[in-house]
Each structure stands twice: as structure tokens, then as C-alpha cells.
Structure 1
């Protein structure tokens, strides 16, 4: 087991900055998720930790050892990739066993360790098969077992569920969570899928353009996004963001007025609120606009309404029944609102 420290690491290719001055402390046994859109620097960060990408500036520490110049094989880290990377001519048993052979682990330990890893990912009935005879989910479990069998200091997982269909993603995600609970090994997990981040992580690093925007537990990121980028990236649907002015605790815009905000700032701001915090009312409220689209989700109903140039998402009960073009009246409670300054950064209310 090992803690991991990234001290001001950067990766540049000429004038292009892939990762910019990233500092992170990842405690032993933590499950850390690097989350962000394509090109944000999350995979580059992982590849630098693994030794697959050169560090332009900064230091990477695994435990008490600075590993910038160590080869990947000497870092005692197991990686699981989006592509399974299995050997097609080997059985499942031999694919799982392969890291032990490469690392010259005594042969009398191989069978016990392979069987233990296979049992953890429920593959004991498939050990004689070759990868071509397996489903995508089973192949990913072979890749997981091959990482487990090494008993490394840390796991690095780079979008391991991207090639799986929706049902398999859910079951494999649960398996990864259970494995982490069992093995208690430091894990860094890269994804663009916020559901994976929210359900798996102890902490999430939200990245954009090579810079960490916020580092916090999942629910803190959801409840208190640090800036408008995080607010717009986390949540399904994303947080509604309306530009306007605030004065004396009252926000006004061409489409919305919210009174009683506990924020002392004045001037131009962006007001944020989530779809589930909007109250659909029969009349009155502080927002009225025609329905643009309706989505029946079974347990709830999602409405999109268009208010001038703003598209606003509302979440109502499953019995809510409105037609496109019909006017919706809604109330946004002041306590559910988030305020962001002209620089896009969160403005905290006093006492928070």
C-alpha cells in the first residue's frame, strides 16, 4: 500500500499544455477519480503517474520514493485500460497468470494467486476459455484479475468501462467498488462519466484544460460546486445557470427574480439552481415560461422550458403532465440557489 503525492506536475508539448502545475495528495487506500471532458488532462495525469508519459515539471512520489525516472515496471502499479489488452492465444488462466511470470514470482505461488484473483471477479468457471469466447464484461473482469494478481501498491484505471453496454457498466462498476472495499488498495480512476465518479470516489478531481477545478468528496462537489464549469459539468441534467444582477439579496434577470438570497455581493452574477430544486406551482412563482420538451423517466418527469435565450431544466413528479407549448409556473427557493461571480467562481454566503 502507498500514498501518492503529485507535486506541481506539468506536461507540455511545445506551447500546448496538457497538465498545468497539478498538486495532489492521495492518501493510502483512497479511491480518487479524475473526472472531466475529453482533452482535460486526466489521462495524461494518470500516464505520468504510471511512467508512460514524461513529466515536464514537478515530482511524483509513491510512498517515500520519487519515481520520475523509474521505468513503469519498477513503480509497482497495476493498470487497467479501456482496451482490455488480453493475449488472444492464452487462456483466461494464463492471461491472469502472465504478470506473475514476467515479474518472476516463484511458481509455487502462481496457482493460489490466480485462483484468488479469479474468484474475486467471478471468473473461476471461465479459466480454460480464450478471450474470443468471452463477452466484453468478462474480458474486462480478466483485465481486473490480471491487475489484482500482482498485489500492487496502487491501481490505475483508465476509462475501464467505456467499451461496455449500459447494463454491464452498472454491474462492473459495482464490482469495482466491492473490490476496492475488499482490497483497500490506493486507486486512481479516470473517467468522463460523472455517475462513475459520484458512485465510486472517495474524492473527485474535476479537471478542465489541464487544471484541477475542484478536489472534494462527490457530494460536496454536487452541493457546492467551486465554479460555473464544475456546476455545468456535474449533474444530470447540468445545473441551470442564469446571468443577471444581484443587489440587497435580490437577483434579477429578464426571466427570473429571486428574493432573500443570503449573499452580500452586488453587481453582475450568475445564479445556479438544480432541476430537482425547482418547485412547479399552479400559479405565481418567480419563473414562467412555455414547455420546450417533456421527458417521462418513469420515476419522474423532466421538463425543458425556454425563457428568452435560456433553456432551463425542471424535474417534477412522475404524474406531472404538461404539453409542449403550455406555460409552466415555477418557484426557485432562495436556499437552493448558488451564486457565482463575474470570474465564474463561487460566492459563499456568510457563515458557510
Structure 2
């Protein structure tokens, strides 16, 4: 069992706050993703759990035991870094085996454990090769196997896919998802890629400027973002956000009028997702504007218009035909909309 508790955890360097009052319980065998832009504090949080960064204030406990003062080697965690950190003079077999040698594990068990880890990440045909003879995806799998072979209480993964090309990221992501199911070990995964977060996580922690913005399942965060930042960070494309005025349940700004909303009067930001809106064939949509750009995605056509400073996207059928600067009408029913306070970003709609 490996339940992890972070209690009022803070990290400061002088006056700079890297992580601000982080509180969370990570369940045994949970796959938790820390998500946010560069500099949001997600890697710092992971490094404090690993013991690679000192905690300024607060406590971290694993299975009820406070680990603040334990050395990294005594925390029973295995970390996979963005850089593969492989030993170039060792072949794949010896790279995977290395943690067992360092920790003084009974040598008679090494071969079985190395080959089990190798088999899990499909490296059996590469055990004799040196890292220089491997592709980026294969090197990352060696790094994963080296973490697996330790059989730790906790896996920590710091952007392990960011150095891979798009196709390899998809296949390696699937492998990590399958591994997490097979190994059933508490895993904390850091990424700035919201697709990785949505596909891998049991729960997602969205961070910005060292502060937790929202914690929830991928579905909860996608369907009901707590604030405009989370709304803008989750989704591909991100949620459309349009600044305007709310009066008596009606949102208005240039080229846009949406009726039937539940939100207080005043300055608000209207949000909706591209896949929830549609092209109004009858011309009676809530937004009417000239087309700014068209993108054929294969299964759909992304149509974008400009409303003030905002670029607003809607997914149309792949057969949709139009030209840039043609006027288009977009249907945005009230029941697909989210409303946020323009000043604080806080969610206002139910």
C-alpha cells in the first residue's frame, strides 16, 4: 500500500513561491497527473515527494509515515525523468539491472526481474544493445524498465514523453497506461500536455503559479472547469472564451448574443467548446461573423471567427465548404455554455 499525503506543503526560494499550500491525498494505486504550464510548480512538487527538493513548510507522508527528513534512496520511490539518463557504456540489460546492484538486491533474482521488466516494455530483442544504438522511444522504455525492476511503492514520472515525436508519444502513452493497470502501483505523472493528462489519469491536479486550480477526474475537469484558466488549458482546441456583458440572463458582445443563461449581471466571460457548437444552416445562430480561417482535420472542419480579441472555433462537418471572409452563423445554445467572472476567472454558471 502507498497512500501519499501532502499537508500544507510550501516551497519558497527567498520571496519567490514555487508551490503554495499544496494539500492532497493520493490514494493507493491511483494514477495522479500534475498538469500545468512551465513554471507552475508541478515538477517541484514531484521533486519534494522524491526528496530531491527540500520542503519549506508542511509535511509529506507515505502510508502515514512522514518522509520529510528521509533521503531519496530511503523513500522507496522510482523516478523516470524527461532525459533518459542511461549509462552509455552499459547495454540495455545492465542499465535495467543497475538499480538492483546499487541497492544490494540478491543477485540470484536479478535475471528474472530484469527480463520481466524488459518483457513489460517490449525490449527483449534489444537487451544486448547500447543506448546509442536505440531510438528515442526505445531509450525511454529502458528508463521505464529500470524504474519497474525496482518494484517500488511509488512511481514518479517527470514528462517522460516530451522528447518523443508525436507518433511515438501516442504508442508510449498507451504502453504507460497498460503498465499502470498491470503494475497497480501509486503513480504521480507530471506533464504540460493535457491530452496525456486526460488519457492517463484517474485524477488530474491542474496547477498555475504554484497554486492548485482544480482537482478532479478528467471528465469533471473537462465538463466543469473551476475557472477560466482550467477551461483554457484543457481541451484540444481549448475552450472558446469571449468577454462580454450579462444583463437579465442575456450575454452580449460584438456579433454575439446568447439568451437563457444563469449568471449575475455584469462583466463576464462566456465559454463553450468547439465540438459543442455548430454551424447554423438557417443563419439564426448566436454568433454571426466572417470566417477568419478554415482547417480540414480529416473527420471535421475547424471554422474560426474573431470576436474582439478572441479567436472562436467551431467544429463543422468535414463536408463544410466556405471561403475565408464569408459570413457564417454559429449556433451556441445556452445549455452548452460556461460563464466565468471576467476579473477573477471563477466559474459562475452551475
Contact 1:290–1:307 (Cα < 8 Å) also in 2: no
- Counterpart-to-counterpart distance in 2, 1:157 and 1:281: 45
Query: Counterpart in 2 of 1:32?
Result: 32
Q: Name the CA distance, whole Å, in 2 between partners of 1:2 and 1:306.
A: 49
Superposed CA deviations along residues 22-81 of structure 1, whole A, max 9, x for unmatched, are 001100000000000000000000000000001001000011210111110000000000
Counterpart residue number, 1:348: 349
Correspondence for 1:268: 267
RMSD: 1.0
* Native 8 Å contact 2:263 2:348 kept in 1: no
TM alignment of 1:1-352, pairs within 5 A:
1-261=1-261, 263-282=262-281, 283-341=283-341, 342-349=343-350
Q: TM-score, structure 1 length as denominator?
A: 0.97
Deviations 1:148-203 (CA, angstroms, capped at 9, x unpaired): 00000000000000110111100000000000000000000000000000000000
Note the alpha carbon deviations across 1:268-316, whole angstroms, 9 max, x for none.
2111111111120121211111111111010111111113433211111
CA contact 2:242–2:307 (8 Å) conserved in 1:
no
> How far apart in 1 are the matches of 2:34 and 2:71?
23
Residue segments in structure 2 that go unaligned for 5+ positions in a row: none
Q: Distance in 1 between matches of 2:263 and 2:171?
A: 47
**SS of residue in 1 equivalent to 2:7:** strand
Unaligned runs of 5+ in 1: none
Q: Is the 8 A contact 2:263 2:339 kept in 1?
A: no
Runs of 4+ in structure 1 over 4 Å off:
none
CA drift at 1:247: 2.8
Higher mean Cα deviation, 273-282 or 240-249?
240-249
Tell me the number of residue pairs that the alignment of Structure 1 and Structure 2 aligns: 348
Following the alignment from structure 2 to structure 1, what is the Cα–Cα distance between the partners of residues 65 and 308? Answer: 57
Q: Report the Cα distance in structure 2 between the residues aligned to 1:110 and 1:301, rounded to whole angstroms.
A: 54
SS in 2 for 1:8: strand
**1:264 CA displacement:** 4.8
Contact 1:255 1:308 in 2 (8 A): no
Task: Using the TM superposition, name which of 273-282 and 94-103 deviates more.
Answer: 273-282
Q: TM-score, normalised by structure 2?
A: 0.98
Offset of 1:267 from its aligned partner?
1.9
1:86–1:95 contact (8 Å) kept in structure 2: yes
Contact 2:263 2:349 in 1 (8 A): no
